[in-house]
Structure 1
Amino acid sequence: MRDQLKPETGQPPAVPAQRRPPPGGADPNDGEESDGVAGQVAERLAYLDAATRRINSALDLASTLRNLCRVLVPALADGAVVHLREPLPNVERDPGCPTRLRIHHSHGTRLGRRSGAGPSTPVPPDGALCRAMLSRDPVEPAVIGTSTDARIRPLLRELYGSRTAGRLTAGTSVLALPLRGRKAVLGLLVLIRRPPKGAAGGVEEPGPTGPTEPVDGPALAAGPADPAGAGDPDGRGHGRFDPADTATASHLATQAGLAVDTALRYSREWEIADELQRSMLPTHLPQPHGVRLAHRYLPGERGAQVGGDWYDAVPLPGNRVALIVGDVMGHSLTSAAIMGQLRTSAQTLAALDLPPHEVLYHLDEQAQRLGREQHLATCVYAVYDPIANRVVLANAGHVPPVLVQPDGRADLLDLPSGAPIGVGGIDFSSVELPAPPGSALLLFTDGLVETRRRPISTGLELLRARLATSHRHSPEHLCQDALRILPPGDRGDDIALLAASFDGIPAEDVAHWYLQPRHETPGRARRLAAHTLRRWGLEHLTESTELMVSELVTNAVQHATRPVTLSMVRTSRLRCEVGDDSPLLPRRRRAAPDEERGRGLQIVARCADRWGATRLGAGKVVWFEQRLP
């Protein structure tokens, strides 16, 4: 059936008035009447079709309620108030009658504005309000000042207070319709029709013609005249609800209850996915020496499902750091879960100290095992070396990062784009670039540069130009400046940023040697370490450092088949690393009194402030750190 929404307002057409036969028998124009009735039925069905689609067109609660009120007023009623239970229920179970109701939206009426009222209304368990919401009997309208007054007045008093309920104009027609979800009563919809202008008890002055905003705090005072205040622009009022109107309203209330239920389920799923995603993202990044890091994560608008953007930083041997930003394609709870799996895999692969292109290759294999079609992701993986002042990057279908030079020039890095992770059969390439002290790197996801109204190429150029003119290269400032290119309004996609400011480590604070795996090598390592400490003015650490270096080099010589590496780096700490080509990690254990071996790591653990071992792609590194005064 074609869309019956009015193009100029987006509203459904007005409900046709029901035509009644004249008194005294048959209508001489009964053929015309039949045609007229058929036309009215067709118009009402068209209204129901358009209104139902409008009510179900949104997934968030606020839009659903706003759409509901707009299709009802003024097409079917002069005013509408939506009450939902407080707190909103878990829609997977039936919590029975609510104990409190809260006004979530009103349109065309002042009924929802009570003097001195709080944000919610208590619901007596044996009152008219509870009975109306739990009843399965057909809903019947009531008219103020008639025999049906006694049926509706107690409900209105419980909802709006005795003063407001007592001031309703005679002839006002009221419909109270429960909003039922799939497993729970979610609230109540109250519809108001004023008597026609000039009718007995009618009100000459119309009420407000526009919608009121959702009531989030104490309500405003009721107006001085008719508290039902119509939304009918000409002030005439619709008159009473007839059976056809009641059936139409009941159908729309049923649709609204299901739509509210869907919105609550969607909101809960969104919250779970958002919480899951945030729990899998790092709250604090490591701060290795020679580089400063900052990050931002901004979820998409509430109407958009949670995405799979992630960022990470992993310390590597040699004071290097791996910088990672990725984006799982799609928006769902599954995307967030896959993001967590890929992030964990990336951390594991980074700890092996593999080249960036090999990390992406193994991530691609992992994604294919998870499912090729549903688990595609883009990713940029970079490794920064503060000693060599170099950065190595590989890209898997991701937006290019921006490298800001010390002189302020900003460049979009022209990396081999590769294919997204999960496609399979694609070779990735690494690119090595200079990263002098004072430069900075910004990794980000496409939500930063691509919007509904702006193509990604325009967004990339805006970002590059913005960072080129910022003159502030601290990571926090880079994140702030990058986010300033976002246009106002809601975002359709989430955004992840990872900014790194490269400070480097001076060459005079680094010492590195290759040592042949011989019996005399531990002694030579002790002498090299002692000489370096004297050059750095750290003689007070000589004894402990010589002892730990000797133990680690001795262990490396026993297992190595290639030269052993010894590195010393001075920052705010003294860090020593010993590497060999054996993949076997040393294990700390308690040696028996008569054993000659097994005490090396005990000594390191007692003397060092921190120590550890990392398995690499070809061997391992054992390291320890000592604080400097």
Structure 2
Amino acid sequence: MRRDGDRLRFVGAATRRIARGIDLDEIVMGLCRATVPTFSDAILVYLRDPLPVGEERPSGALVLRLRRTDRIPEEPDTDGGTMPALQVQTDLVTTAELCEVRPGGALAEVLRGVRPVFADAPAARAALPDLLGDGRTVPSGQRAILAPLRGRRRVIGAAVFLRRPDRPAFENDDLLVAAQLATHSALGIDKTVLYGREAYIADELQRTMLPETLPRPTGVRLASRYLPAAETARVGGDWYNAIPLPGSRVALVVGDVMGHSMTSAAIMGQLRTTAQTLAGLDLPPQEVLHHLDEQAQRLGSDRMATCLYAVYDPVAHRITIANAGHPPPVLLHLGGRAEVLRVPPGAPIGVGGVDFEAVELDAPAGATLLLYTDGLVESRLRDVWTGIEQLRERLAATAQLTGPDHPPPLEALCDDVLDMLGPGDRDDDIALLAARFDGIAPSDVAYWYLEPEDATPSRARRLARSALERWGLQELNDSVELLVSEVVTNAVRYATRPVTLRLLRTDVLRCEVGDDVPQLPRLRQARATDEGGRGLYLVNKLARRWGATRLSTGKVVWFELNHS
């Protein structure tokens, strides 16, 4: 009974040690450390190569690879020499081996049987040379146990437990112990491999849905960072985006789906796509969050996320922000002062039945807005508000290094922010989006309202010419007058309200014509007999870039030209 009690206590301790492993190597190491030297003097662990995942059906021959070995160290004998830990060939427990399991062979039969067997059993005696290779053998008698490792659906490997000849041989009850160790190890390995594949797929899914590159809108510079969670936390649902809007504006978005799973990554993708579609409609920030909230409720009752949506206007030097339960942004002013913006917190999207509020704030030239997810400021070691204050202090300290008149480089600023993370601060994913506001000076903007009448195209040409002369861009007169005339003519043909004409001088010359007709123009090839239909063809040929965007109040057609 005492020996039985010892075995039960050993099995309990060993299985707990195996279960503590969180990845494949830790589980295999847990099996080895729990076994040697208490149960055996050496162990060899073989696993399928490659390991199958879930319902996946392995193709090709069954191949086992020696994954890990462990043994007690060699001990000095009474004559001052060393006593080998095992009276077997030395490289048996040190050399990695590959073993192809022949269908119908002795090793295949033992693995199919699932139950552990003594090495001197007829089946094992024939199987072990195949497993160990080169005709290697193990000590005679019941000094070794061959235990198949079977996962939920198939054999995934084998373990060989070995004892020295000077130690008591294995008994029948030890086969039960070996079976318990093999079962717990195999199920743990099976689960870890499956979870690892799921985490890999979720991580790839999340990364493919994040923008590969950020746009380069007029009047603002952008930088971003994304860091996955630590290995223990795995994949979350953080995302960010920057979306150019009509009128040289840009939408800045950051969000965080609650939870860490492939489902979180998939929901993140759906909400990100929805936000991008809503941004294309040029809805106010609070309306975007309202529609995101409705979409989250359609996805399920527990599909919640936080989100912050901001629209920056470089002409007005203003930013409009609406928040849905997300940490507030931090604004780093040109003089070095870092400010946590007072934005109504709102409820997370997915809660339903709540209104979202937008605030409009100054966005002075040279300032930097930092949007982030809570993984940057919250961890097991600090609460979110402590983290936000540390972030504010870090930004202010970084700005002091470059002086009050020179904001820190944007990419370096992002890296410096991430350097504030300590060893215990990676519990969650981190998404970071930084926007440096350059703005567009009023002297570089020309804006007019034009009545939709026959004389409007000629007036638009004169106004555009005068603006170009003021800016010293007379070399563009012919191209701009032609293109402005064509676009304005198309606008006044159907408009019922005043048409807007705006010219912006930045690194390019941008022209924007807005009207109250929602239908977007389409480029087509005019026939030789057609009297019209060549306007957009000319725009497409002469402009550096052009496009048309539908608004809630109509549309904007724009084009850009290079200038010296």
TM over 0.5: yes
Give secondary structure in 2 for the equivalent of 1:123.
Answer: strand
Which of 184, 190, 197 is the aligned partner of 2:154? 184
Q: Is the 8 A contact 2:118 2:124 kept in 1?
A: no
Structure 1 pair 241–626 and aligned structure 2 pair: CA distance change class (3 A): same
**Residue 504 of structure 2 is aligned to residue 534 of structure 1:** no
- Partners in 2 of 1:525 and 1:118 — Cα distance? 83
Shift of 1:376: 0.4
Shift of 1:499: 1.1
- Partners in 2 of 1:498 and 1:612 — Cα distance? 26
Which of 382, 387, 404 is the aligned partner of 1:459? 387
- Partners in 2 of 1:49 and 1:151 — Cα distance? 32
Which of 545, 555, 560 is the aligned partner of 1:625? 560
Give secondary structure in 2 for the equivalent of 1:419.
Answer: coil
- Partners in 1 of 2:15 and 2:438 — Cα distance? 60
Shift of 1:354: 1.7
Give secondary structure in 1 for the equivalent of 2:179.
Answer: helix
Shift of 1:115: 10
**Residue 255 of structure 2 is aligned to residue 326 of structure 1:** yes
Shift of 1:448: 1.2
Structure 1 pair 137–473 and aligned structure 2 pair: CA distance change class (3 A): closer
Shift of 1:317: 1.6
Q: In the alignment, what sits opposite 1:419?
A: 347
Shift of 1:257: 1.4
Q: In the alignment, what sits opposite 1:73?
A: 36
- Partners in 1 of 2:109 and 2:123 — Cα distance? 15
Q: Is the 8 A contact 1:96 1:185 kept in 2?
A: no
**Residue 143 of structure 2 is aligned to residue 173 of structure 1:** yes
Structure 1 pair 137–381 and aligned structure 2 pair: CA distance change class (3 A): closer
Which of 393, 418, 422 is the aligned partner of 1:483? 418
**Residue 23 of structure 2 is aligned to residue 60 of structure 1:** yes
Q: In the alignment, what sits opposite 1:233?
A: none
- In structure 2, what residue type is equivalent to 1:430? A
Q: Is the 8 A contact 1:132 1:178 kept in 2?
A: no
Q: In the alignment, what sits opposite 1:248?
A: 177
Q: In the alignment, what sits opposite 1:228?
A: none
Structure 1 pair 118–322 and aligned structure 2 pair: CA distance change class (3 A): farther
Which is worse superposed, 321-330 or 517-526? 517-526
Structure 1 pair 318–71 and aligned structure 2 pair: CA distance change class (3 A): same
- Partners in 1 of 2:118 and 2:361 — Cα distance? 76
- Partners in 2 of 1:528 and 1:343 — Cα distance? 41
- In structure 2, what residue type is equivalent to 1:306? V
- Structure 2 segments unaligned to the other structure (5+ residues): 74-85, 400-406
Cα shift readout 1:348-399 (whole Å, capped 9, x = no counterpart): 11122222111111111111121232x1010111111222222221110001
5 Å-filtered alignment, 1:531-610, equals 531-610=466-545
- In structure 2, what residue type is equivalent to 1:66? M
- Partners in 1 of 2:438 and 2:272 — Cα distance? 26
Which of 209, 214, 227 is the aligned partner of 1:285? 214
Q: Is the 8 A contact 2:107 2:127 kept in 1?
A: no
Which of 338, 343, 349 is the aligned partner of 1:410? 338
Structure 1 pair 115–574 and aligned structure 2 pair: CA distance change class (3 A): farther
Q: In the alignment, what sits opposite 2:76?
A: none
Q: Is the 8 A contact 1:403 1:413 kept in 2?
A: yes
- In structure 1, what residue type is equivalent to 2:67? H
- Partners in 2 of 1:172 and 1:487 — Cα distance? 53
Shift of 1:193: 2.4
**Residue 440 of structure 2 is aligned to residue 511 of structure 1:** no
Which is worse superposed, 478-487 or 94-103? 94-103
5 Å-filtered alignment, 1:85-234, equals 85-95=48-58, 100-109=63-72, 114=91, 121-123=98-100, 125=102, 130-131=107-108, 134-136=111-113, 138-142=115-119, 151=126, 154-155=129-130, 157-158=132-133, 165=136, 173-195=143-165, 199=166
Aligned length: 543
Q: In the alignment, what sits opposite 2:196?
A: 267
Q: In the alignment, what sits opposite 1:524?
A: 459
Structure 1 pair 251–79 and aligned structure 2 pair: CA distance change class (3 A): same
Cα shift readout 1:17-54 (whole Å, capped 9, x = no counterpart): xxxxxxxxxxxxxxxxxxxx2x6545544544554454
Shift of 1:614: 0.5
Which of 264, 270, 276 is the aligned partner of 1:341? 270
Q: Is the 8 A contact 1:437 1:504 kept in 2?
A: yes
Give secondary structure in 2 for the equivalent of 1:469.
Answer: helix
Structure 1 pair 116–45 and aligned structure 2 pair: CA distance change class (3 A): closer
- Partners in 2 of 1:257 and 1:92 — Cα distance? 16
Q: Is the 8 A contact 2:107 2:124 kept in 1?
A: no
Q: In the alignment, what sits opposite 2:429?
A: 494
- Partners in 2 of 1:623 and 1:96 — Cα distance? 56
Shift of 1:454: 2.1
Q: Is the 8 A contact 1:82 1:187 kept in 2?
A: yes
- Partners in 1 of 2:330 and 2:139 — Cα distance? 67
Shift of 1:338: 0.9
Structure 1 pair 437–455 and aligned structure 2 pair: CA distance change class (3 A): same
Structure 1 pair 157–50 and aligned structure 2 pair: CA distance change class (3 A): closer
- Partners in 1 of 2:522 and 2:124 — Cα distance? 85
Q: Is the 8 A contact 2:446 2:503 kept in 1?
A: yes
Q: CA RMSD in A?
A: 2.9
- Partners in 2 of 1:245 and 1:117 — Cα distance? 25
Shift of 1:141: 2.3
- Partners in 2 of 1:153 and 1:58 — Cα distance? 28
**Residue 291 of structure 2 is aligned to residue 362 of structure 1:** yes
Structure 1 pair 331–153 and aligned structure 2 pair: CA distance change class (3 A): closer
Q: Is the 8 A contact 2:62 2:100 kept in 1?
A: yes
Give secondary structure in 2 for the equivalent of 1:505.
Answer: coil
- In structure 2, what residue type is equivalent to 1:72? T
Q: In the alignment, what sits opposite 1:82?
A: 45
Which of 429, 434, 446 is the aligned partner of 2:362? 434
Give secondary structure in 2 for the equivalent of 1:408.
Answer: coil
Give secondary structure in 2 for the equivalent of 1:339.
Answer: helix
- In structure 2, what residue type is equivalent to 1:393? I
- In structure 2, what residue type is equivalent to 1:141? F
- In structure 2, what residue type is equivalent to 1:302? E
Give secondary structure in 1 for the equivalent of 2:398.
Answer: coil
Structure 1 pair 149–523 and aligned structure 2 pair: CA distance change class (3 A): closer
Shift of 1:128: 7.4
Shift of 1:309: 0.5
Q: Is the 8 A contact 1:364 1:422 kept in 2?
A: yes
Structure 1 pair 347–532 and aligned structure 2 pair: CA distance change class (3 A): same
- In structure 1, what residue type is equivalent to 2:253? I
Shift of 1:540: 1.9
Cα shift readout 1:115-159 (whole Å, capped 9, x = no counterpart): 99886524363797843663316422237xx9999557625641x
Give secondary structure in 1 for the equivalent of 2:113.
Answer: coil
Structure 1 pair 271–81 and aligned structure 2 pair: CA distance change class (3 A): same
Q: Is the 8 A contact 1:517 1:563 kept in 2?
A: yes
**Residue 547 of structure 2 is aligned to residue 612 of structure 1:** yes
Give secondary structure in 2 for the equivalent of 1:101.
Answer: strand
TM-score by length of 2: 0.88
Structure 1 pair 118–621 and aligned structure 2 pair: CA distance change class (3 A): farther
- Partners in 2 of 1:64 and 1:406 — Cα distance? 53
- Partners in 1 of 2:221 and 2:179 — Cα distance? 61
